A and B are shown apart, each in its own frame.
Chain A
Amino acid sequence: MSDATADPRYRRTPPKRPIRFSWSDERVRAIVWQLLVVGIIVAVVWWLVRNTQHNLEVRRIATGFGFLNREAGLPIAEHIIDYSPTNTYLRALIVGVLNTLKVAVIGIVLATILGTLIGIARLSKNWLVSKIAGVYVEVIRDLPLLLQLLFWYTVLQGLPNPRNAMNPVAGVFLSNRGLLLPWVEWQAAHTGALLAMIVGVVLTWMYSDVMRARRMQDGQPRRVWPIAVLLILGLPVAVWALMGAPFTPDVPALRGFNFRGGFVVSPEYFALLVGLVTYTSGFIAEIVRAGILSVGHGQWEAAQALGLKPGTVLKQIVLPQALRVIVPPMTSQYLNLTKNSSLAVAIGYQDIVSIANTTLNQTGQAIEGIAIIMAVYLSISLSISLFMNWYNAKIALVER
């Protein structure tokens, strides 16, 4: 076999044949077909563009993104950054993008956790647990997401009013105004602590990398967790204490007809998050299950025969192999969740689609509005794909 490939005759490139201008030459046909297809597409696009220009002139709609600097005048209930209706359309759209990211990022994290738990539950030896997980997955996946969102929103709106709010735990209220949680009054020290925690996580990561490299050299196991605890928990606490250790609890309380204070999760956001997380978790559960099943039984047995502890088997043997199967389909689920968050417009959560839609209705800039929506989603999709491809390449099997 290797003899055959080593034979110099097989490495010769085929002789270059001059192009004959006849239909029987493959290359001529290829050029003709491509010219034809490109020509048709260019003609259609040109026709559409001309129609559009004409229609815009007739309707007196100015093209361009100049409207972004005009005053928006549209109220937005939920905003992470400061916003008022007197701000520009550009700022309103940025608020929309941030709202989309808020639901997408938290949704992805929660859906991954819930989906993994259900996927493992489906493989449980306990018949009842695996059956319940199976029914959950089947029901959730066979109902349209939009229906589920409307259902959750209706359920949340059917909750009692603030005066009769449900109070499962002290300080937590659930009513038709949403979910209220106790919180602290946010001050500079808290921001400092949060930043310190991020720094701590990065430092821990670097530290564990160095320790792993040393372990690879001399085979001695080294403890990472004491330093990790110090960096991730100790550092933020120290920063917080240095900045005066402010702590004022902010517990929601009923004032008149509504609640004051506390951390408010609006019914719109809550319904969207619950709907997206339960829907996507059904798909993630199946991916996780397939991933774990893809690792052969022999791998478990071989690892056990080597005397490894069950935790080590899972962490060092099974998970790395299962992740290779899990990550690519998981990427598309993350993308789906992000794109599905656009259904927010149906229940009144003001994400980018909702705000861009209002913008294009107010200004009549249909083309620009839809171009903005598409550009935002394309860039979010592209970033998720790039990150997941990088992660996938990191965990991929190193082959010869």
Chain B
Amino acid sequence: MASDTTTTQLAVATAVPEAAPRTPPISVIGPIAWMRANLFSGWISTAVTLALAYLIARWVIGFVDWAFINAIWSVPNNQTQACRDLRGTGACWAVVTEKHRFILFGTYPYEQHWRPALVCVLFVGLYIVSAMRRFWRKELALVWILALTAIGILMWGGILGMPYVPQERWGGLPITLILSTFGLAFAFPLAILVALGRRSKMPAIKAICVLYVELIRGVPLISLLFMASVMFPLFLPEGMNIDKLLRAQIAIILFAGAYLAEVVRGGLQALDKGQYEAADALGLSYWHKTSFIILPQALRLVIPPLVNTFIGFFKDTSLVLIIGIFDLLTAGKTAIVEPAWQGFGVEVYITIGLIYFCFCFAMSKYSQGLEAELNRHRRR
């Protein structure tokens, strides 16, 4: 019976003359329909769209005028009068053209600038390699050690025919990258230990970890940096002196450690209790349980918030400006101290902002991609 009806239906269907495949009406698909749905869906929406479009167009035209059409790209030997005449109507990118070496590398000896430049390239390469999941294995630690050693050799020099450059003359982008990379490389293991300590059953260790985390998170980074710059020298025995850069680095490590510890703790708490109990039931010791069962899973859970915290600390290293360490932002601020170039801060800050933005935007996009990839099994 059933097959009978299907055949009749089929016969009817084939009897109808072949209709040409029709596209949906223009009001349902295509750019016009999209605009109607997303830009002009009602009179309020239309009004908002038009007003915003007008404002954006005006602002973009004004910005292009200022930044490109009326801009001055270079001036002969510090004659900034032409730039000053253009104040408000055109950008003076000449300040960046003139000072870009200083902004990027600070007071590093001019003819040796290839060394910090190579260091920046090494850092970026290191980040890219670490970001690729196919390289997430033990050998990566070796790569890090090698790269950081190479960076140290390049910056200090003194061997292989490279003249020695003292730390006081380092500056600019390499300092920003050194402070953030070394800061996170040391803060991360510290954070794991503190997070484990905070969940420990031993009351004294738990109390110490809680005290450390809450104390650090309750005060601004500046107060720690001040502590590193004015108070730390009092702590050390006479005659023993630690470089200012290293002191700031220690402050950043301690600060980042507390924040990262809270992120790691989130992962430890989110992990199913059954994992802890199963590991205990297998008779694993605490460190075996932690390093083979708990941490691999817990850290995987918190990779996206970890990357967000990394972005935060990359930006926060700029605070060393306040204690006078020569990072990228300090170099930019110092570049416009010279009387000839005073008053061109906006151009310099936009340039530095672009550099920071490139790093942070890349990290944030990476974090979003990673989050999507790691959650793939949860999506339906």
**A395 CB, min distance to chain B CBs, angstroms:** 22
- The reply on B201 being an interface residue by CB < 8 A is yes
Q: Is the CB of B356 within 8 A of A343?
A: no
| B-side contacts of A367, CB under 8 Å | 231, 234
Q: Is the CB of A377 within 8 A of B219?
A: yes
B235's contact among A52, A357, A381, by CB below 8 Å, is which?
A52
| Binary contact readout A76-110 vs B (1 if CB under 8 angstroms, 0 otherwise) | 00000000000000000000000000000000000
A51's contact among B204, B220, B226, B237, by CB below 8 Å, is which?
B237
- The reply on A13 being an interface residue by CB < 8 A is no
Q: Is the CB of B360 within 8 A of A142?
A: yes
Give Cα A145 to B221, complex, Å.
13
**Interfacial residues of chain B within 40-70, with CB under 8 A of chain A in the complex:** 41, 45, 48-49, 52-53, 56
A143 with B48: in contact, given A357-B226, A366-B234 (CB under 8 Å)? no
Q: Is the CB of A30 within 8 A of B202?
A: yes
| B-side contacts of A373, CB under 8 Å | 219, 223, 226
**A162 CB, min distance to chain B CBs, angstroms:** 17
**Interfacial residues of chain A within 110-168, with CB under 8 A of chain B in the complex:** 125-129, 132, 138-139, 141-147, 150-151, 154-155, 158
- The reply on B311 being an interface residue by CB < 8 A is yes
| B-side contacts of A154, CB under 8 Å | 345-346, 349
**B44 CB, min distance to chain A CBs, angstroms:** 9
Q: Is the CB of A370 within 8 A of B201?
A: no
Q: Is the CB of A151 within 8 A of B322?
A: no
**B173 CB, min distance to chain A CBs, angstroms:** 13
| Binary contact readout A345-381 vs B (1 if CB under 8 angstroms, 0 otherwise) | 1100000010001001000001100100110011001
| Binary contact readout B303-343 vs A (1 if CB under 8 angstroms, 0 otherwise) | 00000000100011011011000000100010000000001
Give Cα A289 to B311, complex, Å.
20
Give Cα A155 to B345, complex, Å.
8
- The reply on B32 being an interface residue by CB < 8 A is no
- The reply on B162 being an interface residue by CB < 8 A is no
* Chain B contact surface mostly: helix
**A78 CB, min distance to chain B CBs, angstroms:** 19
Q: Is the CB of A366 within 8 A of B231?
A: yes
Q: Is the CB of B204 within 8 A of A377?
A: no
Q: Is the CB of A144 within 8 A of B345?
A: no
**Chain A minimum-CB-distance residue to B317:** A144
| A-side contacts of B202, CB under 8 Å | 30, 33-34
**B91 CB, min distance to chain A CBs, angstroms:** 12
Which listed segment binds B: A54-62, A189-197, A256-264, A297-305? A54-62
| B-side contacts of A38, CB under 8 Å | 204, 208
Interface residue count on the B side (C-beta < 8 Å): 55
- The reply on A254 being an interface residue by CB < 8 A is no
| B-side contacts of A33, CB under 8 Å | 202, 205
**A283 CB, min distance to chain B CBs, angstroms:** 10
Q: Is the CB of B219 within 8 A of A374?
A: yes
A138 with B364: in contact, given A126-B48, A151-B353 (CB under 8 Å)? yes
- The reply on B38 being an interface residue by CB < 8 A is yes
| Binary contact readout A248-286 vs B (1 if CB under 8 angstroms, 0 otherwise) | 000000000000000000000000000000000000000
Give Cα A200 to B208, complex, Å.
47
Q: Is the CB of A144 within 8 A of B329?
A: yes
| Binary contact readout A47-72 vs B (1 if CB under 8 angstroms, 0 otherwise) | 01001101110100000000000000
| A-side contacts of B222, CB under 8 Å | 342-343, 345, 353
A151's contact among B208, B237, B318, B346, by CB below 8 Å, is which?
B346
Give Cα A354 to B52, complex, Å.
41
- The reply on A340 being an interface residue by CB < 8 A is yes
**A58 CB, min distance to chain B CBs, angstroms:** 7
B319's contact among A41, A141, A343, by CB below 8 Å, is which?
A343
Q: Is the CB of B52 within 8 A of A132?
A: yes
- The reply on B250 being an interface residue by CB < 8 A is no
**A246 CB, min distance to chain B CBs, angstroms:** 42
Q: Is the CB of B223 within 8 A of A342?
A: yes
| A-side contacts of B356, CB under 8 Å | 142-144, 147
Q: Is the CB of A127 within 8 A of B39?
A: yes
A56's contact among B221, B223, B234, B322, by CB below 8 Å, is which?
B234
A145 with B315: in contact, given A125-B45, A345-B222 (CB under 8 Å)? yes
| Binary contact readout B24-41 vs A (1 if CB under 8 angstroms, 0 otherwise) | 000000000000001101
| Binary contact readout B232-244 vs A (1 if CB under 8 angstroms, 0 otherwise) | 0111111000000
**Interfacial residues of chain B within 197-256, with CB under 8 A of chain A in the complex:** 201-205, 208, 215, 217-223, 226-227, 230-231, 233-238
Q: Interface extent on A, as a size class?
A: 35 or more
Q: Is the CB of A147 within 8 A of B352?
A: yes
Q: Is the CB of B357 within 8 A of A143?
A: yes
| B-side contacts of A128, CB under 8 Å | 39, 48-49, 52-53
- The reply on A28 being an interface residue by CB < 8 A is no
**Chain A minimum-CB-distance residue to B363:** A142
| Binary contact readout B171-211 vs A (1 if CB under 8 angstroms, 0 otherwise) | 00000000000000000000000000000011111001000
- The reply on A382 being an interface residue by CB < 8 A is yes
Q: Which of A127, A144, A343 has the most CB of B within 10 A?
A: A144
**Interfacial residues of chain B within 283-309, with CB under 8 A of chain A in the complex:** none
**A356 CB, min distance to chain B CBs, angstroms:** 9
**Interfacial residues of chain B within 351-378, with CB under 8 A of chain A in the complex:** 352-353, 356-357, 360-361, 364
**Chain B minimum-CB-distance residue to A366:** B230
| B-side contacts of A56, CB under 8 Å | 234
**B261 CB, min distance to chain A CBs, angstroms:** 15
Give Cα A41 to B209, complex, Å.
12
Give Cα A34 to B329, complex, Å.
44
Q: Is the CB of A54 within 8 A of B52?
A: no
A-B contacts besides A34-B203, A339-B220, 9 pairs, CB < 8 Å: A34-B202, A51-B235, A55-B236, A127-B38, A142-B311, A146-B318, A367-B234, A370-B231, A381-B219
Residues of B within 8 A of A (CB): 38-39, 41, 45, 48-49, 52-53, 56, 87, 201-205, 208, 215, 217-223, 226-227, 230-231, 233-238, 311, 315-316, 318-319, 321-322, 329, 333, 343, 345-346, 349-350, 352-353, 356-357, 360-361, 364
Q: Would you give 10 A-B contacts (Cβ < 8 Å), ordered by A?
A: A33-B202, A125-B45, A144-B315, A147-B353, A150-B345, A158-B87, A339-B221, A353-B222, A377-B223, A382-B218
Enumerate the 9 nearest inter-chain pairs by beta-carbon distance, A residue then B residue, closest first: A154-B345, A142-B360, A127-B38, A339-B220, A144-B315, A34-B204, A342-B220, A144-B318, A381-B218
